[in-house]
Amino acid sequence: MTRFICLATLLLSGFGSAFGQGRTLAPGNPALTQSMADKLEIVYSRLLEIKLSAEQKGRFQTGLIKYWNGNDQAGIKSSLDNLKYYDSPDQLNELRTSSQATIVEGLRRDAADTGDPVSGVLVEAFDIAHPGRGAETRVRTFPDLVGTWKRQDALGARVDPNSGSAVGVSYTDSGALEITQKGAFTMVKVHNHCSGTCCRMDGSEEKGTVSLVAGKMVLQTVSGSKLTEDPCVGAKQRTAIKAHRESVAWSIRPNPNNNATTLCLNTGPDTAECYEKQ
C-alpha cells in the first residue's frame, strides 16, 4: 500500500481547480474515478517534486486500480485519506519541507517489502528528479534503531500572583527506549500529573525482544510492571505487565526544531511518540 509514514499527523494538500468526476476506473464504495486518480497524481507530484512520464502515469493509475479491484483495504484507505487534503496548499508546503525525505523512505520500504506498484513508481520518479538524495532517503534498517532514545514533554502549572503557589493542571511525560544489537529492548515511561498540590505518578517498565517484520517494528514484551502512586489519596499499586506482542509503524527523521535524529512510533492513526537519539 502507498502510505505516508508517521508522525503524529501527515497532512496532504491540494490545488485550486477541481476536476470533474470523469469515468469510473474501478467499482467500489466509493468507486475509483479518473478524477480521483488525477488528483492523487498531482498531490504526490507536488509533495515529492516529481513529474511522472506518460508511461509512469499509466503504471501509477494501474496500481490504484489494483487496490480497488483487489479489495486492498489498506491501499484504498491510504488513497482516500490522502485525497481528502487536495485543497490545502499551505499544509502541503509544510509537509514537503518537514517530511519529504521521511515519506520517500516509507515509500521505498513499501515498494521493497510488498512490491506495491504505486510506491514503486513514485520512488522511481523521485530518484530521477533528485539523483543526489538516495542516501538521505534510504530505507532504515535494524542497525539504525540500536542505541538509547529518549523523549520529554511537560506543561507548567499556572502561578497564583497573590500566593505564588502553583494552581491548575501541570504534567511531565517522559520515556526512554533502549535497543541492543542483539535485539533486546527496555522501555520506561513515566507520567506525572498534578492538579494544584496533588500529584499522581504512573510509570511502567517493559523488557523483551525487538525485530523488524514487513517494515514494522515488532516489540515482544517478555516481562514488565506498572506502578501508580497518588499520595493525596494514599494509593500505591504495582501490577505485572503480561507478555504481549505489539507491531507499530515507525520512522527515523530529523527533529524540525533542533535537527536531532528522532525515532517516531505510531501510537494511533494520527498520533506518534517521538524519541531523540542520545
> Contact at 8 Å (CB) between 15 and 46?
yes
Per-residue pLDDT of the chain (278 residues; tens, 9 = 90+): 555 533 333 333 333 333 346 799 999 999 999 999 999 999 999 999 999 999 999 999 999 999 999 999 999 999 998 888 788 888 888 889 888 998 999 999 889 888 999 999 999 999 999 999 999 999 999 999 999 999 999 998 777 787 777 678 899 999 999 999 999 999 999 999 998 788 999 999 999 999 999 888 999 999 999 999 999 888 899 999 999 999 999 999 888 788 899 999 998 877 889 999 99
Helix/strand/coil percent split, the chain, to 5: 30, 35, 35
For the chain, how far is it from start to end, CA to CA, in angstroms?
Answer: 33
Per domain, the residue ranges of the chain are 24-129, 142-277
For strands 250-254 and 261-268, give the pairing: antiparallel
DSSP string computed for 12-36: ----S-------EEE-SSSPEEHHH
User: In angstroms, how far is CA 43 from the centroid of its own chain?
Assistant: 19
For 96, the grid coordinates are: 514537503
Q: In whole angstroms, give the CA distance from residue 73 to residue 67.
A: 7
pLDDT of residue 163: 75
* HSE, side-chain direction, 13 A CA sphere, residue 253: 25
> Contact at 8 Å (CB) between 250 and 234?
no
Beta bridge partners of 264: 251, 274
Phi, psi of 138 (to 5 degrees): -65, 160
pLDDT of residue 13: 32
